[in-house]
Amino acid sequence: MELNGIKPSQGAKHAKRRVGRGIGSGLGKTAGRGHKGQKSRAGGYHKVGFEGGQMPMARRLPKRGFKSHLLKFNGEITLSALERLNLAEVDLLTLKQAGLVGQLVKNVKIIKSGSLSKAIKLNGISATAGAKAIIEAAGGSVA
């Protein structure tokens, strides 16, 4: 193989469509832009969501609610997920390694959903009041 012999594989490249080059090309005269109007002219277009001067949909509809950008740092685990984990001590790192919370999560809370039969010690993980009661009843602790 020679450097001057290298070329793209068959079908990888195709010729750019040449518009406005006469009737025989099929894209002569208006060059596929139709007749008149802003979209037919060079440099003429509008921003996304523009509705011709009419009040745009984004401004006609009421705005409600808000989603915190900090939500991605919070995670929650159910009691039944803790049960399946089969560990005596649980902290944030073990939950990440088990794939129960995402890698970005910084705060984890145990919620009361399901049941717990064995004692589990939680390190650096909070729990709801109901979940804490069940964990302590099973002989575990929340630190």
Residue closest to 124 by CA, chosen among 43, 134, 55, 101: 101
DSSP annotation of 136:
H
Q: What is the structure's pLDDT at 110?
A: 96
Domains of the chain in start order, with CATH, are 17-45 (no CATH), 71-142 (3.100.10.10)
Name the band, by pLDDT with cuts 50, 70 and 90, for residue 1. Answer: confident
Quick one: average pLDDT of 90-108? Answer: 95
* pLDDT exceeds 90 at position 12: yes
Residue with tokens 């589990």: 120
pLDDT of residue 45 exceeding 90, the answer is no
CB 127 within 8 A of CB 110: yes
Strands 126-127 and 89-90: unpaired
Residue 23 C-alpha from the chain's centroid: 48
| C-alpha distance across the termini of the chain, in Å | 68
User: Does residue 44 register a pLDDT over 90?
Assistant: no
Question: What would the mean pLDDT of 30-41 be, rounded to a whole number?
Answer: 93
pLDDT band at 11 (very low <50, low <70, confident <90, very high): very high
Q: Where does the pLDDT of residue 112 fall: very low under 50, low under 70, confident under 90, or very high at 90 and above?
A: very high
Q: Tell me what the mean pLDDT of segment 110-123 comes to.
A: 94
pLDDT tier, 123 (very low <50, low <70, confident <90, very high otherwise): very high
CA dist., res. 122 & res. 140, Å (int): 8
